[in-house]
Amino acid sequence: MSAAAPGTNPTLSRRRKWAFRLGSSLLVPLLVLAVLEAVLRLAGFGYPTNFFLKTRINGRAVYVENDKFGLRFFPPALARSPSPLVMPAGKTNHTYRLFILGESAALGDPEPAFGFGRFLQVLLNERFPGTRFEVVCTAMTAINSHVILPIARDCARREGDVWIIYMGNNEFVGPFGAGTVFGPQAPRLGFVRFALALKATKIGQLLDALLRSFGAESSRQPSWGGMKMFLDHQVGPDDPRKQRVYEHFQRNLEDILRVAEPAGVKVVLSTVASNLKDCAPFASRHSSGLRGSRLADWQKFYDGGVEAELAGDFAKAIRSHAAILSWRGTWTRCRFAPIRASTESSKRPRSSTPGAVFIWRTCQRWRRRARKESPGMSFSSSTSISTSRAITSWGEPWLIRCCGCCRNRLLTRRRGSGRHLKCARAVWR
């Protein structure tokens, strides 16, 4: 057995050997991954992950939208793209730049040209003619706060003055939501952040492409089906994933505000608007505790309320719907039904004159016809533009509009007549 050389420490030598082995086992794979990432980038593989892409148009440096931005969050066949935009790369003097962050409601879908961002820019230009305003809409359809956070990080580097955040509609159905069709449903936030960070690299994009090629998705490519895609992915009232979705939204919103603070951006947070009066819940389901005879009793009360409402007996309909409101686990549509019945009963004209009653009954008949022929549209007897278009397309002799000057909220004119009936400004096309 040979003795150790003078001046050497056998224990220290063993430690150095183990440290070298450990360092080599970690360093070599990292070096291989770095080389692979560089090769993929040089080969032009994958897609850019920034929201804005810099280019030149007519000799000017500008930023345009990245039409492949959605690939990081959606399957390729369902990927959403930002609306076209062109923004100067440098902000000039006397220029005020506003970014709108949100989903389809902020975008103005289905007609982005009439989104609130366009109205805002016109109003600001009228109010402050000496200042140039750039209202940049970064909103996209079908996204949620998991997507808006990376967009906000990109906006923080683009010299913005104000952010208008109008989000919250798609937290359950957007990417990583509890009812999503775009991937994992309500995973932990750590998994979400890791998956998005991985897909920001070319290696992550390569792995994602390989998994899609050899996985179950290779045999079927889904197509965009709008809200119908989510009918089989409803979230019940007692679903434990709901709380996780709320927590994710809160964390993402807090992180967006943290991104805005060092950039010196003023933030306007907006609560999303909802038409609770005219729009029934998109889908509704009972909790797991409502079943058997109790469910049969519930169905009896609900059917009775619906039949009474169709027959015009709104008082009975309200009583039937109210009888099951206190039942634990009942579906959310029951909370909408009595409100709808109460609203319908209040729309009957107070005047008992034959003309006023005839107008009211005609309006109700058109509403029923509109719902039957266009089940996907929402109509109200205060007559939205959609109702007016539907009515005129049927060639009816009446056109109903809301003037807001009396409780009836009805105005009408008979074809070819200039005489007005009860609360009327004539409107005819």
In-domain check, residue 121: yes
Token readout for 237 is 């009232």
Please answer whether residues 399 and 420 qualify as being in contact, where contact means their C-beta atoms are separated by less than 8 angstroms.
no
The closest alpha carbon to 50, from 200, 190, 185, 165, belongs to 200
Q: What is the number of alpha carbons within 13 Å of residue 33 lying toward its C-beta?
A: 12
pLDDT surpassing 90 at residue 203: yes
Q: Are residues 252 and 327 in the same domain?
A: no
Domain boundary among 329, 347, 365: 347
Mean pLDDT of 288-314: 74
In-domain check, residue 315: yes
Residue with tokens 């993929």: 40
Residue 332, pLDDT score:
61
Q: Are residues 357 and 255 in the same domain?
A: no
In-domain check, residue 312: yes
pLDDT surpassing 50 at residue 420: no
Contacts of 53 (CB under 8 A, 6+ apart): 63, 64, 65, 66
pLDDT surpassing 70 at residue 40: yes
Residue 3, pLDDT score:
52
Q: Which amino acid is at 318?
A: I
- Lowest-pLDDT range of 159-168, 202-211, 357-366, 399-408: 399-408
Q: Are residues 146 and 251 in the same domain?
A: yes
Mean pLDDT of 159-185: 92
In-domain check, residue 338: yes
In-domain check, residue 274: no
Domain boundary among 347, 364, 380: 347
For helices 314-323 and 292-310, angle between their N-to-C axes, nearest 10 degrees? 160
Sheet holding 162-166: strands in order across?
A: 132-137, 95-102, 162-166, 266-269
Residue 406, pLDDT score:
35
Q: Are residues 202 and 259 in the same domain?
A: yes
Q: Are residues 114 and 257 in the same domain?
A: yes
Q: Are residues 330 and 380 in the same domain?
A: no
Please answer whether residues 424 and 413 qualify as being in contact, where contact means their C-beta atoms are separated by less than 8 angstroms.
yes
Element spanning 146, H or E: helix 145-155
Mean pLDDT of 72-78: 91
Q: Are residues 409 and 309 in the same domain?
A: no
Residue 102, pLDDT score:
95
Residue 361, pLDDT score:
57
How confident is the model over 206-248, as pLDDT tens digits? 999 998 888 655 445 567 777 778 777 778 777 889 999 999 9
Q: Cβ–Cβ contacts within 10 Å for residue 366, how many?
A: 20
- Lowest-pLDDT range of 82-91, 101-110, 167-176, 419-428: 419-428
In-domain check, residue 277: no
The closest alpha carbon to 400, from 386, 382, 420, 377, belongs to 382
**More confident of the two residues 360 and 161:** 161
In-domain check, residue 252: yes
Token readout for 332 is 């959310």
Q: Are residues 157 and 200 in the same domain?
A: yes
Residue with tokens 């109010």: 127
Residue 65, pLDDT score:
96
For helices 241-260 and 145-155, angle between their N-to-C axes, nearest 10 degrees? 10
Residue 385, pLDDT score:
30
* Cα 159 from Cα 93, distance rounded (Å): 12
Please answer whether residues 301 and 324 qualify as being in contact, where contact means their C-beta atoms are separated by less than 8 angstroms.
yes
For helices 189-199 and 202-214, angle between their N-to-C axes, nearest 10 degrees? 100
Give the domain range for residue 365: 350-429
Mean pLDDT of 150-161: 95
Of the pLDDT bands very low, low, confident and very high (cuts 50, 70, 90), residue 288 is low
In-domain check, residue 3: no
Q: Are residues 367 and 302 in the same domain?
A: no
Q: Are residues 247 and 340 in the same domain?
A: no
* Cα 233 from Cα 178, distance rounded (Å): 8
Total domains present in the chain: 3
Q: Are residues 337 and 421 in the same domain?
A: no
Mean pLDDT score across all residues of the chain: 76
Residue 125, pLDDT score:
92
- Lowest-pLDDT range of 147-151, 192-196, 225-229, 331-335: 331-335
Q: Are residues 165 and 85 in the same domain?
A: yes
Residues for the chain: how many in total?
Answer: 429
Q: Is 310 helix (H, G, I), strand (E, B) or coil?
A: helix
How confident is the model over 330-361, as pLDDT tens digits? 556 666 666 666 666 655 544 444 444 554 55
